[in-house]
Amino acid sequence: MSLAGDAVSWESKGTLILRRPTSQVKAQGDPGNMPKVAEIMSKNIVTIEGGATVLFAARLMEEKNVGGLPVADAGNPVGMLTERDLVRRVLARGLDPNKVTVNEVMSSPLVSIPPDAFVEDASDLMVRHKVRRLAVIESGRLVGIVTGTDLARFVSDQGRFLGALTRAYYERL
């Protein structure tokens, strides 16, 4: 399934979100047991307010061992601060991380997906928008994050399962 024909719309606060009409899903047939984003997303989310300094954010990323932080404004997700943002927009420009705020250098708009979207859609959205992290948004709330690592782990698990299934099949012959 691809995102062709899907609606990608802007939410308030500049959040980009995938919306797939239910009629389209039904028209494509029963998706059966296709895996959903909710099954692979990380649910333990660490966020940061946009007014925090980049130095504080970098220390938080180190402490929590994460490569990106969703940025919140009054509790609403508005962007993503990544290691790449820190390198390209702060360090490479010689800026003082103790004076620059997260809002000034975060990636925005926030690219997001609902938890009931298919894993394949998450992968397509990441490629299309050239991002490594997607915010998982449900009813305007951040409920998880899907990263490239989450997708790689999922594909790896699927490959092992398929390999085991194939071996079992040929052993029965």
Q: Are strands 141-147 and 133-138 parallel, antiparallel or unpaired?
A: antiparallel
* pLDDT per position as a tens digit, 26-71: 334 445 578 899 999 999 999 999 999 999 999 999 999 999 999 9
Domain annotation covers residue 98: yes
Q: What burial class does residue 18 get, using C-beta atoms within 10 Å of its C-beta: 0-12 exposed, 13-18 middle, 19+ buried?
A: buried
Q: Is the preceding omega at residue 35 within 30 degrees of 0, hence cis?
A: no
Alpha helices (H) along the chain: 22-27, 37-40, 54-64, 83-86, 102-105, 119-129, 148-172
Residue 2 lies in a domain: no
Q: Which domain holds residue 90?
A: 7-172
Return the bridge partners of 77, or none: 72
**Overall number of domains in the chain:** 1
Task: List the CATH number of the domain containing 28.
Answer: 3.10.580.10
Angle at 77 between CA 63 and CA 58, to 5 degrees: 25
pLDDT tens by residue, 130-169: 999 999 999 989 999 999 999 988 888 777 767 777 777 7
In a domain, 32, yes or no: yes
pTM listed for this prediction: 0.75
Query: Do the domain assignments include residue 1?
Result: no
34 in a domain, yes or no? yes
Task: Show the CA angle centred on residue 153, arms to residues 112 and 171, nearest 5°.
Answer: 135
